[in-house]
Amino acid sequence: MAAKKLCTLVKKGLHKEDPEAYKELLRGARYACKRCGRAAARAKCLCKPTRL
């Protein structure tokens, strides 16, 4: 899977179109996006990552 930002994918409806892929990105989340309020396991998945 290409390294796209979770923030972008959610705006495109990933959580509805591919809930499994979405859950995979959230699994073990250690970072949150300051701009969007999303959480993800990897900082590179977020546009403004900050440690949780």
Positions that interact with Zn ion (CB under 5 A): 7, 33, 35-36, 46-47
Nearer to Zn ion, 4 or 23 (CB): 4
Q: Give the span between the Cα atoms of 24 and 47, in whole angstroms.
A: 18
Q: Which is nearer to Zn ion, 23 or 44 (CB)?
A: 44
Q: Given CA atoms 33, 35, 48, 46 in this order, what sign does their dihedral have?
A: positive
The nearest distance, CB 48 to Zn ion, in angstroms, is 5
C-beta closer to Zn ion: residue 29 or 47:
47
Among 3, 4, 8, CA closest to 36: 8
